[in-house]
């Protein structure tokens, strides 16, 4: 039995299960990015691992693949969504208590266990922080298992930063080295202005003994990986999460295919050498 078949044993992978929205949080002022906390009506506890995704189904509208942005102790699962298409814009109007369909979890996970005893570098661009957020939670829960932990996060502007309260908390706790930059500053912005790669270049980690995880726009991931490799992080210890549009989540439709790989089935988390040839293709 394949790993996917074993994981899905006991329920139909193409049939969404009903989950209730427990809480809705606006992450940015205009509500374009929002976070749902969901609980299963069936009582089935969430089994997602950091880096995996669920298919969220809005009855009568359609479904989208959304990475898990937190896994709660009580079995609830958290998704952070950007309203960019017809389905996610319809989801933007839902409120606490309403019911959506959920299929999953699907996909590969971040190799958190492989980072044990190493320095860990996390690089996120925009909403790419959401799939890396469970890694931060897992690392902080077992902080003694890891060396230096560096989180480099970039957004278009200060108003586009997500998880603002949590960013402030991580900054205060100092259990990780959080560095934030924006493409365009504002009059009241006191932080860095520039790209994430500049933060990586100034990171101060031991690249020879580091593992890196990167999520964001593909151009950002490509140049972040190059910066990491210049700092001594081996390509095979660099992992990227591909945010391609996924339709079936099982590798049947081919919509998310990149070369010989299906993002939904073989990813979304890949070792960088697997995706490096695709990054060299312009406008892929």
* All residues at 6 or more sequence positions from 170 whose CB lies less than 8 Å from its CB, including other chains: 136, 151, 176, 178
pLDDT of residue 234: 97
Rounded Cα distance, 239 and 260, in Å: 18
Domains and CATH numbers, the chain: 3-106 (2.40.30.10), 113-278 (3.40.50.80)
pLDDT of residue 136: 97
Q: What is the pTM of this model?
A: 0.93
Dihedrals φ, ψ of 147, to 5°? -80, -135
Tokens 């897992």 correspond to: 138
Q: Please check the confidence at residue 72 and state whether its pLDDT lies above 70.
A: yes
pLDDT of residue 11: 59
**pLDDT 10s digits, 259-275:** 999 999 999 999 999 99
Q: Please check the confidence at residue 283 and state whether its pLDDT lies above 90.
A: no
* All residues at 6 or more sequence positions from 23 whose CB lies less than 8 Å from its CB, including other chains: 35, 36, 37, 96
pLDDT of residue 62: 94
pLDDT of residue 2: 42
């Amino acid at each position: 039995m394949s790993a996917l078949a074993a994981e899905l044993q006991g329920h139909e992978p193409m049939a969404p299960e009903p989950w209730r929205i427990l809480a809705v949080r606006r992450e940015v002022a205009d509500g374009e990015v929002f976070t749902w906390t969901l609980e299963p009506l069936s009582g089935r506890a969430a089994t997602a691992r950091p880096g995996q995704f669920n298919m969220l189904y809005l009855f009568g509208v359609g479904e989208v693949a959304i990475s898990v942005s937190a896994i709660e102790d009580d079995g609830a699962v958290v998704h952070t969504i950007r309203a960019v298409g017809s389905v996610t814009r319809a989801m933007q109007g839902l409120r606490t208590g309403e019911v959506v369909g959920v299929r999953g979890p699907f996909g590969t996970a971040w190799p958190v266990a492989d980072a044990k005893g190493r320095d860990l570098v996390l690089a996120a661009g925009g909403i790419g922080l959401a799939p890396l957020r469970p890694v931060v939670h897992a690392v902080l829960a077992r902080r003694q298992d890891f060396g230096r932990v560096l989180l480099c996060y970039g957004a278009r502007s200060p108003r586009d930063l997500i998880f603002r309260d949590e960013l402030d908390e991580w900054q205060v706790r100092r259990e990780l080295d959080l560095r934030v930059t924006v493409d365009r500053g504002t009059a009241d912005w006191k932080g860095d202005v520039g790209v994430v790669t500049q933060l990586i270049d100034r990171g101060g980690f031991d690249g020879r003994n580091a593992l890196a995880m990167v999520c964001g726009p593909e151009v950002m991931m490509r140049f972040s990986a190059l910066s990491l490799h210049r700092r001594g992080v081996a390509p095979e210890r660099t992992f990227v999460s591909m945010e391609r549009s996924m339709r079936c989540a099982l590798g049947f439709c081919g919509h998310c295919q990149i070369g010989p790989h299906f993002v939904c089935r073989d990813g979304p988390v890949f070792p960088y050498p697997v995706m490096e040839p695709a990054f060299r293709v312009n406008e892929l």
